[in-house]
Amino acid sequence: MAIAENIEDPWRTGLESVPTVSLLLRAPASALLGEGVVQSLEVRHITGREAQHLEELAEPATSALLLVVEAVLDDASAAGLEDRGIGYVDAAGRAWVPGAPRSAYARPTRRRARTSSIRAAQLIADHPDTTWTEPKLAKQAQVSSGTAHNLVRDLLSFNLVERTGEGRAGVHSRDTRGLRRWLVSQARREQPHMVSCYIPDAEDLAAEVDGVPLIRSGAEGARLLGVPVVSSIQRVLIRVPVSSGLEDLPARLGGLRTAAGANVVLVEDPERFAANDARLVHSVWVAPPSRIATDLTLEPRGDAASSVFLDLWGEGVL
């Protein structure tokens, strides 16, 4: 396969790992070459927002198509592209090219990240410039050393982090955008317990109630971090690090449980996804950005809002 431009890691590494494919970059023209046959190749760069609508992509009439996706594709999206004969490489280095063996036979299925791994992965995603040794990651994420080791191993295999120095000196983010999108794709499968309620003067809620922090997340958390993703917020999403008692909390906050006219959604957070790295902003607790990106998928605009937030977040640190 010849491509008329340079493609950086992890996309380049992903294409080079496709069975039966050799990659030539900065060629005079992009093309698929094989057994005396040359087929022109259209290379399209797909943003994270566009990746939400891959099924709507128009296929070229005469040339082959390769998508360079600035997001992490889930299994269904990848399989759908392969069914249509569309090549792709995503931000985690997952790739397939027309004419190559179907990826289901070439690549083992990746297991879903464990709950405790997600909490640890959030730290790497939110602090991409930090070097994380496995003991440091385990301590700060409050996970076992085995969980930290397995997470680091998996992220290294996905080309999302890289080693710093020799041996096991530590890792830091290698592909920050890809890591954050991979994290959301893993964490969004949660089905947390939520309670809708109406609370008068919800914008004046205290940072804590009876010593339990009320942690703003979702669109409200994004707004407080200065990265608004919706024009108006109908319901404030609040993570509460408890494993019981959520149903009684609206009354303790001076409100009532209701679906109609609700202005607050309380989300049970026993795994401390929001609490573990929360920060005070304007005298209220705000969830870490990676948790905000995931919780946006729980709100009306769902994946689209999360993708916009990730695009605005970019490579930086909030």
For 248-297, the pLDDT digits (tens) are 999 999 999 988 889 999 999 999 999 999 999 999 999 999 999 999 98
* Closest-CA residue to 106 (of 20, 228, 226, 178): 20
Identify whether 69 is part of a domain. yes
Identify whether 318 is part of a domain. no
Identify whether 46 is part of a domain. yes
- Give the pLDDT confidence score for residue 220 in this predicted structure: 94
Identify whether 15 is part of a domain. yes
Considering the domain architecture, whether residues 90 and 137 belong to the same structural domain is answered as no
Considering the domain architecture, whether residues 212 and 183 belong to the same structural domain is answered as no
Considering the domain architecture, whether residues 27 and 126 belong to the same structural domain is answered as no
Residue range of the domain that includes 164: 115-187
pLDDT in tens, 220-237: 999 999 988 876 667 899
Considering the domain architecture, whether residues 133 and 239 belong to the same structural domain is answered as no
* Closest-CA residue to 31 (of 71, 57, 59, 62): 62
Considering the domain architecture, whether residues 198 and 305 belong to the same structural domain is answered as yes
Considering the domain architecture, whether residues 73 and 155 belong to the same structural domain is answered as no
Could you tell me the pLDDT band of residue 186, with boundaries at 50, 70 and 90? confident
* CATH number of domain containing 183: 1.10.10.10
Identify whether 295 is part of a domain. yes
- Give the pLDDT confidence score for residue 167 in this predicted structure: 59
Domain boundary among 47, 77, 106: 106
Considering the domain architecture, whether residues 153 and 71 belong to the same structural domain is answered as no
Considering the domain architecture, whether residues 6 and 77 belong to the same structural domain is answered as yes
**Averaged pLDDT, 27-41:** 85
pTM: predicted TM-score of the whole model, two decimal places: 0.67
Q: Count H helices and E strands in the chain, helices first.
A: 11, 18
Distances (CA, A) of 243 to 36, 192, 206, 268: 64, 10, 20, 6
- Give the pLDDT confidence score for residue 166 in this predicted structure: 64
Considering the domain architecture, whether residues 139 and 96 belong to the same structural domain is answered as no
Distances (CA, A) of 72 to 101, 180, 199: 20, 9, 38
**Averaged pLDDT, 1-27:** 87
Domain boundary among 130, 164, 187: 187
User: What does pLDDT average to over the chain?
Assistant: 86
Considering the domain architecture, whether residues 146 and 57 belong to the same structural domain is answered as no
**How many domains are contained in the chain?**
3
Considering the domain architecture, whether residues 159 and 220 belong to the same structural domain is answered as no
Name the most confidently modeled range: 5-14, 32-41, 248-257: 248-257
Tell whether the torsion through CA atoms of 290, 292, 297 and 301 is positive or negative: negative
CB-based contacts of 190: which residues, under 8 Å, 6+ apart?
115, 294
Considering the domain architecture, whether residues 79 and 176 belong to the same structural domain is answered as no
Q: Please indicate whether residue 114 or residue 147 has the higher confidence score (pLDDT).
A: 147
Could you tell me the pLDDT band of residue 73, with boundaries at 50, 70 and 90? confident
- The gap between the terminal CA atoms of the chain, to the nearest Å, is 39
Domain boundary among 187, 222, 237: 187
DSSP H stretches of helix in 159-288: 176-187, 218-224, 249-252
The DSSP H or E segment spanning 39 is strand 37-46
* Alpha carbon distance 123, 307 (integer Å): 19
pLDDT of residue 106 exceeding 50, the answer is no
Could you tell me the pLDDT band of residue 36, with boundaries at 50, 70 and 90? confident
- Give the pLDDT confidence score for residue 198 in this predicted structure: 95
Strand partners, 3: 25
Q: Please indicate whether residue 188 or residue 127 has the higher confidence score (pLDDT).
A: 127
Strand partners, 266: 195, 238
